[in-house]
């Protein structure tokens, strides 16, 4: 297993030690240890129910860990008394579902948190919103409502909303799984651009070709544990663990 003692480096922006999460009789995460360096792009793959999404949700404290510690940019976010609202400003998260407010335009969805959380003035927030929507290729959709946008466009608004907060790390939980296959590429293109600009990203995804191309490191999880991790070439071409080989055989031959 890859869940042993974790050396912590100065360049690590995420440090997870001994993380476990239990629901009644189900252990979703079992003593997970993981560090992520600044500007690193880490893909987490594995079968459904392996703990991938639970891990992401624990990193953002949307799930409360049963045991262990999580540090983001030097702040131990599992400490009692931590200001979670402040910490979450440093952690952008994009979900399978877009979670946009249907009664707000694309720009309105992006600007809302800037006004409420960052306390930006209206003009400043609008300028910031326009900038990030332009970055994700939606300059012509600022006045459109979610119902008027394709799934790919809605997901790009969700990414823009997260980017507008200038997070130190971005978490993606199956960001393309709800999209028509024809729309997946436009979201992946935005994620590539984020990688090229040096954004630290942890991505849960079944897009194996994208993981092979974009990842610095690929982590295979199963039964709540990190079974194997390494560069894409190692994981996809010569995985060392039988469970990794079995999973990739199924995924790559479907």
- Tens of pLDDT along the chain (254 residues)? 344 444 445 589 999 999 999 998 889 999 999 999 999 999 999 999 999 999 999 999 999 999 999 999 888 999 988 888 888 889 999 998 899 999 999 999 999 999 999 999 999 999 999 999 999 999 999 999 999 999 999 999 999 999 999 999 999 999 999 898 889 999 999 999 999 999 999 999 999 999 999 999 999 999 999 999 999 999 999 999 999 999 998 887 75
Residue 235 structure tokens:
């994981």
Using a CB cutoff of 8 Å and minimum separation of 24, what contacts does 128-132 make?
128/164, 129/160, 129/164, 132/160, 132/161, 132/163, 132/164
Tell me which residue has tokens 């624990």. 58
Burial class (CB in 10 A: 0-12, 13-18, 19+), 221: buried
Q: What is the pLDDT of residue 233?
A: 94
- Residue 132 contacts residue 163 (beta carbons within 8 Å): yes
Q: What is the pLDDT of residue 22?
A: 95
Cα separation of 228 and 244, whole Å? 7
pLDDT given at position 1 = 38
Model confidence, pTM: 0.92
10 Å Cβ neighbour count for 69?
14
Beta-bridge mates of residue 75: 72
d(CA 50, CA 123): 45
Report helix, strand or coil for 30: strand
Strand 217-222 relative to strand 41-45, pairing: parallel
| Residue among 138, 85, 84 at smallest CA distance from 108 | 138
User: What pLDDT was estimated at residue 115?
Assistant: 94
Q: Say how many residues make up the chain.
A: 254
Q: What angle do CA 62, 21, 211 make, to 5 degrees?
A: 70
| ∠ Cα 211 72 1 (to 5°) | 55
Q: Which are the contacts of 84, defined by CB distance < 8 A and separation ≥ 6? A: 61, 77
d(CA 234, CA 116) in angstroms, rounded, equals: 45
The span from the first CA to the last CA of the chain, in angstroms, equals 27
Are β-strands 67-72 and 75-76 bridged in parallel, bridged antiparallel, or unpaired?
antiparallel
Q: What is the pLDDT of residue 254?
A: 58
């Amino acid at each position: 297993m890859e869940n042993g003692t974790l050396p912590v480096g100065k360049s690590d922006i995420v440090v997870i030690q001994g993380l476990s999460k239990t629901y009644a009789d189900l252990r979703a995460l079992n003593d997970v240890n993981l560090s992520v360096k600044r500007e690193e792009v880490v893909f987490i793959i594995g079968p459904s129910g392996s703990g991938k999404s639970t891990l992401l949700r624990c990193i953002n404290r949307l799930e409360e860990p049963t045991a262990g510690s999580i540090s983001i940019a030097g702040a131990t976010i599992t400490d009692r008394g931590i200001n979670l609202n402040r910490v979450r400003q440093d952690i952008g998260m994009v979900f399978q579902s877009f979670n946009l407010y249907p009664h707000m335009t694309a720009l309105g969805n992006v600007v809302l948190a800037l006004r409420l959380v960052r306390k930006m003035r209206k003009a400043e927030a609008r300028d910031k919103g326009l900038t990030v929507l332009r970055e994700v290729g939606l300059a012509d959709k600022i006045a459109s409502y979610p119902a008027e946008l394709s799934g790919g466009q809605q997901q790009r608004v969700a990414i823009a909303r997260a980017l507008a907060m200038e997070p130190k790390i971005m978490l993606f939980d199956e960001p393309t799984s709800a999209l028509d296959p024809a729309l997946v590429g436009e979201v992946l293109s935005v994620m590539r651009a984020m990688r090229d600009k040096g954004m630290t990203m942890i991505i849960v995804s079944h897009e194996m070709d994208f993981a092979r191309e974009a990842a610095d490191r690929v982590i295979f999880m199963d039964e709540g544990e990190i079974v194997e991790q390494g560069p894409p070439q190692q994981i996809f071409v010569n995985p060392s663990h039988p469970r990794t080989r079995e999973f990739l055989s199924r995924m790559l031959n479907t």
